[in-house]
Amino acid sequence: MQEYAVLDGGQILRRKSYDLSTWPEYKRNAVDVKGDGGPVYRPVSYVGEGPIEAVAIGMSAVTITRSAATLVEPEPLPIPTLAELKDQLSANVDMQAEQVRQKYITAGDGMVMTYREKFEQAELVNEIGEVAANALSSEERIAAYPTLAASVGLEAPTLWECAQLVRLNYAQFAQLSHVIEKTRLSGKASVSSASTAEEAQAAYEAIQWTV
């Protein structure tokens, strides 16, 4: 396991060996309970031997020139209120839902617009029918269905087949999206209805992303 320094406010609170690789990504990203940039974990490396000469706290690591860092006895960290804990856990649920979505789609506002344009154009092509769609010249395809036309010859041979592929992919993702959204909303509802911090944490831990 790797030794880490736990930092808060630019000071080392403690050092301990952790295996963060076993932590789910959403939990590694959710350690900032206070919302103020800390506490955070930084890997510790040692240089040389003998007594302490220097402790360098960098953006990505803590370098100790021989020996352990002087531990600072911190003030006890404030315990978040139940409302604050619920807000943090709910935000974590939203983040998890987005991570699951991105297993199936490409992230980014531009890609969201591209997916939407392709689907709308695929629906229009479906309305005019296979014969009319495939009778269009390259210039006519691009003029009428610019985003969908980019797929011709790459994702499918004809405009019609591209349209049907987009519609199929959309229908498949719609089923996945239903499961993701239901899990997200039910998970947040369970967290919100908890009457204690223990119940809220248990509700959060019980969420299962099965898609």
Write the pLDDT tens digit of every residue in 71-118: 555 566 678 889 999 999 999 999 999 889 888 888 788 988 999 999
Domain range for residue 120? 82-205
My answer on whether 46 and 124 are in the same domain is: no
For the segment 116-142, what is each residue's pLDDT rounded down to a tens digit?
Answer: 999 999 999 999 999 999 999 999 999
Judge if pTM exceeds 0.85.
Answer: no
My answer on whether 16 and 89 are in the same domain is: no
In a domain, residue 74? The reply is: no
CA proximity to 7, closest of 36, 30, 48, 46: 36
My answer on whether 165 and 201 are in the same domain is: yes
Query: Which residue's entry shows tokens 């402790």?
Result: 55
What's the distance, CA 111 to chain centroid?
A: 16
Phi, psi (rounded to 5 degrees) for 11: -115, 150
Residue 2, H or E segment: strand 2-8
End-to-end CA distance of the chain: 31
In a domain, residue 98? The reply is: yes
My answer on whether 193 and 102 are in the same domain is: yes
My answer on whether 61 and 93 are in the same domain is: no
Cα separation, 176 vs 183, in Å, equals 11
My answer on whether 107 and 186 are in the same domain is: yes
